[in-house]
């Protein structure tokens, strides 16, 4: 088997059971009684209507899923198509919706346990009275969260068995129901209004299919299996719901369901009547498994949504830390678990079910909109294997019915949901907008056609664009002599990226002195006038380039470490620093700090060995690689800002091949106008020779750990010391650091 086969090991049955397993627990085992009581014979219609609405969205979800089989499913599609504002709404709605639904499943679980072991109605803890169902629900939720926190892979496999077993039990049940069915038994219908309200409540039993898309990246051959699983699970559960509902209404006397006591479970009592105690036991057992597997799958699906949200910086990526021992996303599972427990503690069965329903209806509506946007904008990489039939009618109808159904749900729940959506919008503007960099297809589409689009659309689109791209160049300054040069380099980088310069004055404080004390007695550690002057100069120099600038004073015991911390806390995209004995105090003491930092580098770093800032003739040696890409970017900044002549240097055994490599490399990096110079022989000698004619040498770190070598004085490139011109060393950021995970 290939690597890919092993990584994507969810087969068609497994994918189907995720959907069926998540849905069936709620639909059959918890809701029928309420549906029949409130809608009468139209309960069946409620379930069919719910299935129809779900099916329309399932078609859209299938198309989006085959085009983008990524972790996070519905959130990912909405964020990708509609941008991070709607992405925030969809992400939060999906996450909280699953937590509400899980809390609801656990209530069902509590009822089943109560029926099996028999418990008093409520327990009294001092002044608090907790119903026994709620208590078991809380215990059950804690158990399932704990299991997933530790990560037992067996739970996943059990799911397949459980679902197959459930379908078998229900098949027997409906057969008995059909044999005993009489139309005379059907309760009177209660009309369309109650039927639609009921549909809103029971829609919580149609949430599962979208969870399949959350794990889309793990499905084998998603082009085939994903639509089959998504659409198949909706069709299958709709049919099962309909049969079970017909059996329950037609096979027992009218009024039977309504006459049941509060602690009795409708489907179990009907089974007892039709099939005897064995039937009742089978249904009890089935209900227990079904509600448990629903909750379990939902908890796992939430962690995928968290991951996708964290990757886009809609929530802090630190939420998705993997446990070093259990290999589970333990923080995400713990937070989801706490939400579930809180919802169980605060909610009622009906409130939890409808919250789950409404939040998912919002997502379903947005999913259909996302599909329309993808089809209309038709980006080059959008190539779904499955296509929605009857486009655009299907997604438009899917969107309208999803949003319309919300209107039939109780006003309190709608108000709560609106508050959550408003919260997600606020979340976007207050938290996520400055962090996420991802622009939606819709925003790109509107803004790229700004001339043809109505002004209102354009200003709306540009008004909500993410500005996580706000590019921040952090320049720590200690030495007034190098201030102007470092700021010039930083400003060129900021200008090229439409960003800003953040100038930091690093003030050394002796180890014995607390930073808090030093902050209040700053004058003892630095000449206030000098510090002021340094930052004022920095500001003036940066403003000469027309880039925004902010200045801060940073107190520091150990220079390097705090420089890195400061860059981190100021959200640096690039750190521009000087290098020399007096740039940041004694480098020898920074080793421990650099050890920590060198493993991960959360921002690009430019280190300048300043021998006078003269960017008129820049030499950039390259052998390819990410760090020389950064070097290329620096060369571009200098060229665009100072009109530098750029020379690219490559050392190769075969000059023709070297020339070809350089030309292709330069063209890919917008440096076609640079001169090329191909040398053979010793790399360092070639660089030294090229640098003789140059005023500035830009070197990409050829391997990781440049910083460490720099600080410990073991830099391999001796050439940097030998040449007479200024040298800029470039090291590219590497994924995310421990610090970033901690501070988000």
Partner 1 sequence: MGDLLERVVLPVASEGDARDTCEAVLPYVADAGGEVVAVHVVEKAGGAIDKAGVEQREEYAADVFAVVTDACDDAGVPCETEVVFATDIADGVFDAARDHDASAVAFTPRESSRWLDLLTGDDTRNLVKRADRPVLAFPAGDEPGDDDDDDEDGADPTASAVAADDPPTVEDDDDE
Of residues 598-657, which lie at the interface with partner 1 (CB under 8 A)? 598-600
Q: Which of 120, 128, 259, 325 binds partner 1 (CB under 8 A)?
A: 325
> Within its chain, how far is the Cα of 608 from the centroid?
36
Subset of 466-525 contacting partner 1 (CB under 8 A)? 512-522
Question: Binding residues for partner 1, how many (CB under 8 A)?
Answer: 79
Q: Which is nearer to partner 1, 73 or 110 (CB)?
A: 73
Q: Which is nearer to partner 1, 212 or 727 (CB)?
A: 212
Q: Using CB under 8 A as the criterion, what x/- string covers residues 202-241 for binding partner 1? A: -------------x-xx-----------------------
Helices marked H in 384-523 — which ranges? 393-406, 411-427, 441-448, 455-463, 480-496, 515-520
* 313 lies in the site for partner 1, by CB under 8 A: no
* 660 lies in the site for partner 1, by CB under 8 A: no
The closest alpha carbon to 65, from 498, 290, 317, 382, belongs to: 382
Quote the least distance from Cβ 244 to partner 1, whole Å.
26
Q: Which of 52, 675, 704, 744 binds partner 1 (CB under 8 A)?
A: 704
Phi, psi of 163 (to 5 degrees): -65, -45
Stretch that binds partner 1, among 7-15, 276-284, 384-392, 576-584 (CB under 8 A): 7-15
Q: How many Å apart are CA 252 and CA 275, to the nearest integer? A: 12
Torsion of CA 368, 307, 201, 24, to 10 degrees: 100
Instruction: Enter the tokens of residue 565.
Output: 């911390």
Subset of 570-589 contacting partner 1 (CB under 8 A)? 570
Q: How many Å apart are CA 587 and CA 711, to the nearest integer? A: 6
Q: Which of 171, 258, 322, 415 binds partner 1 (CB under 8 A)?
A: 322
Sign of CA dihedral 230, 233, 239, 242: negative
Stretch that binds partner 1, among 106-114, 327-335, 383-391, 605-613 (CB under 8 A): 327-335
From the CB of residue 674, how many other CB atoms can be counted at a distance below 10 Å?
Answer: 24
Instruction: Enter the tokens of residue 153.
Output: 């892979």
* 559 lies in the site for partner 1, by CB under 8 A: no
Q: Which of 118, 261, 277, 324 binds partner 1 (CB under 8 A)?
A: 324
Residues 594, 729 contacting (CB under 8 angstroms)? no
Q: Which is nearer to partner 1, 304 or 650 (CB)?
A: 304
The closest alpha carbon to 137, from 280, 297, 290, 340, belongs to: 340
* 253 lies in the site for partner 1, by CB under 8 A: no
> Within its chain, how far is the Cα of 337 from the centroid?
18
Stretch that binds partner 1, among 314-322, 406-414, 435-443, 637-645 (CB under 8 A): 314-322
Give the three-class secondary structure for 595: helix
Residues 267, 29 contacting (CB under 8 angstroms)? yes
Q: Which of 75, 92, 256, 307 binds partner 1 (CB under 8 A)?
A: 307
Q: Which is nearer to partner 1, 115 or 306 (CB)?
A: 306
Stretch that binds partner 1, among 295-303, 393-401, 431-439, 578-586 (CB under 8 A): 295-303
Phi, psi of 640 (to 5 degrees): -70, -35
Subset of 341-400 contacting partner 1 (CB under 8 A)? none
Subset of 111-170 contacting partner 1 (CB under 8 A)? 148, 150-153, 155-160
Q: Which is nearer to partner 1, 123 or 517 (CB)?
A: 517
Quote the least distance from Cβ 548 to partner 1, whole Å.
16
DSSP count for the chain of H helices, then E strands: 29, 12
Stretch that binds partner 1, among 25-33, 298-306, 537-545, 575-583 (CB under 8 A): 298-306
Instruction: Enter the tokens of residue 194.
Output: 């109650």
* 732 lies in the site for partner 1, by CB under 8 A: no
The 3-state secondary structure of 533-562 reads HHHHHHHHHHHHCCCCEEEEEEEECCHHHH
Phi, psi of 601 (to 5 degrees): -130, 110
Quote the least distance from Cβ 496 to partner 1, whole Å.
26
Quote the least distance from Cβ 515 to partner 1, whole Å.
5
Q: Which of 133, 231, 237, 554 binds partner 1 (CB under 8 A)?
A: 554
Subset of 46-75 contacting partner 1 (CB under 8 A)? 70-71
53 half-sphere exposure, CB direction, 13 A CA radius: 29
Stretch that binds partner 1, among 184-192, 338-346, 549-557, 579-587 (CB under 8 A): 549-557
Pairing of the two strands 645-651 and 675-679: parallel
Q: How far apart are the first and last CA of the chain?
A: 38
Quote the least distance from Cβ 105 to partner 1, whole Å.
16
């Amino acid at each position: 088997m290939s690597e890919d086969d092993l990584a994507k090991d969810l087969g068609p049955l497994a994918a189907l059971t995720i959907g069926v397993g998540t849905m069936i627990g709620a639909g059959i085992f918890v809701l029928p009684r309420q549906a029949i009581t409130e809608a009468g014979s139209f309960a069946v219609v409620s379930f069919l209507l719910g299935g129809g609405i779900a099916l329309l969205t399932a078609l859209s979800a299938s198309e989006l899923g085959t085009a983008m089989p990524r972790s996070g499913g519905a959130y990912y599609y909405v964020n990708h198509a509609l941008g991070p504002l709607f992405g925030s709404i969809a992400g939060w709605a999906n996450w909280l919706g699953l937590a509400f639904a899980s809390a609801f499943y656990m209530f069902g679980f509590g009822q089943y346990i109560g029926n099996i072991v028999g418990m008093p109605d409520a327990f009294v803890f001092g002044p608090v009275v907790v119903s026994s169902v709620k208590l078991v629900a809380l215990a059950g939720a804690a158990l399932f969260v704990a299991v997933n926190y530790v990560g037992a892979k067996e739970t996943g496999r059990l799911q397949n068995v459980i679902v197959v077993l459930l379908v078998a039990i229900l098949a027997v049940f409906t057969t008995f129901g059909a044999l005993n069915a009489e139309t005379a038994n059907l309760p009177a219908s209660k009309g369309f209004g109650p039927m639609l309200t009921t549909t809103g409540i029971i829609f919580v039993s149609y949430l599962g299919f979208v969870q399949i898309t959350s794990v889309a990246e793990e499905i084998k051959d998603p082009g085939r299996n994903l639509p089959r699983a998504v659409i198949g699970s909706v069709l299958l559960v709709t049919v099962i719901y309909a049969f079970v509902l017909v059996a329950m209404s037609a096979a027992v006397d009218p009024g039977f369901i309504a006459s049941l006591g509060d602690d009795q479970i409708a489907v179990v009592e009907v089974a007892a009547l039709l099939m005897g105690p064995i039937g009742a036991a089978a249904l009890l057992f089935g209900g227990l498994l079904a509600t448990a597997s629903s909750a379990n799958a939902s908890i796992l699906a939430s962690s995928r949504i968290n991951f996708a949200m964290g990757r886009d910086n809609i929530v802090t990526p630190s939420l998705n830390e993997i446990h070093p021992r259990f290999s589970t996303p333990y923080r995400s599972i713990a937070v989801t678990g706490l939400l579930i427990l809180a919802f169980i503690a605060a909610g009622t069965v009906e409130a939890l079910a409808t919250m789950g329903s409404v939040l998912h209806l919002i997502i379903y509506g947005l999913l259909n909109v996302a599909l329309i946007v993808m089809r209309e904008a038709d980006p080059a990489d959008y190539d779904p294997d499955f296509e929605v039939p009857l486009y655009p009618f299907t997604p438009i109808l899917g969107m309208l019915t999803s949003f319309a159904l919300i209107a039939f749900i109780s006003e309190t729940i709608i108000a709560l949901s609106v508050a959550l959506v408003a919260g997600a919008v606020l979340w976007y503007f207050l938290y996520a907008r400055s962090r996420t960099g991802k622009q939606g297809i819709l925003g790109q589409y509107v803004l790229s056609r700004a001339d043809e689009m109505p002004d209102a659309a354009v200003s709306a689109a540009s008004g909500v664009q993410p500005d996580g791209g706000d590019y921040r160049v952090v320049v720590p300054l200690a030495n007034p002599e190098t201030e102007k040069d470092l700021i010039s380099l930083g400003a060129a980088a900021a200008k090229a990226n439409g960003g800003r310069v953040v100038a930091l004055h690093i003030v050394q404080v002796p180890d014995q002195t607390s930073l808090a004390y030093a902050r209040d007695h700053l004058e003892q550690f630095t000449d206030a006038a000098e510090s002021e002057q340094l930052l004022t100069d920095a500001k003036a120099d940066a403003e000469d380039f027309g880039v925004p600038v902010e200045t801060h004073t940073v107190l520091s015991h150990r220079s390097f470490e705090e420089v890195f911390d400061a860059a981190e806390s100021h959200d640096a995209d690039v750190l521009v620093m000087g290098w020399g004995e007096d740039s940041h105090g004694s480098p020898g003491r920074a080793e421990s700090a650099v050890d920590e930092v060198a493993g991960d580098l959360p921002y690009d770093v430019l280190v300048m060995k300043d021998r006078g800032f003269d960017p008129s003739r820049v030499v950039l040696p390259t052998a390819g690689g990410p760090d020389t890409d950064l070097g290329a970017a620096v060369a571009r900044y200098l060229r665009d800002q100072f009109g530098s002549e750029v020379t690219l240097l490559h050392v190769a055994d075969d000059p023709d091949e070297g020339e070809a490599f350089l030309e292709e490399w330069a063209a890919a990096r917008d440096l076609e106008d640079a001169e090329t110079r191909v040398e053979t022989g010793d790399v360092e000698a070639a660089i030294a020779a090229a640098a003789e004619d140059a005023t500035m040498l830009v070197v990409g770190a050829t391997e990781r750990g440049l910083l460490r070598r720099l600080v410990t004085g073991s830099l391999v490139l001796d050439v940097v010391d030998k040449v007479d011109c200024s040298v800029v060393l470039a090291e590219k950021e590497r994924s995310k650091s421990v610090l970033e995970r901690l501070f988000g």
